[in-house]
Amino acid sequence: MYEMKLEWKEHNVDLRAVEAWMKANTTGYLGNSADSCLHLWFEEEPSQEDKDAAQAYWDGLDENSDEAQSYESAADLEAARLAKKASAKAKLIEIAGLTEEEAAALLG
């Protein structure tokens, strides 16, 4: 396994979008992890061309890029999940005639 480290940006970046780009444009890409920097993981050391492409892609991401604009924080994602669950619960109560408790039990 090979690890490539990239320095963090001063703005947020949607790592799901980075993941999709890396899978489509490099060979042997396995995924990423993050802490003090972004770690890109490969099956084996990528070619210099793939390393350069990944670095150029990352360097080209600015606060106006699609990857920055599509960023959603964990709080945003959780709020969306809870809103969907509340909507489903309301529909179960209205359409199926369930009680609040029954709808909550079905949705977990």
Question: What are the boundaries of each domain within the chain?
Answer: 2-69, 74-107
The pLDDT of residue 11 is above 90? no
CA trace torsion 70, 75, 80, 83 (10° rounding): -160
Which residues have CB under 8 Å from 24's CB, separation 6+? none
Q: Tens digit of pLDDT for each residue in 51-93?
A: 999 999 999 988 878 777 766 666 777 887 888 998 998 998 8
Taking the complete model, does pTM exceed 0.95, yes or no?
Answer: no
DSSP-derived 3-state class of residue 27: coil
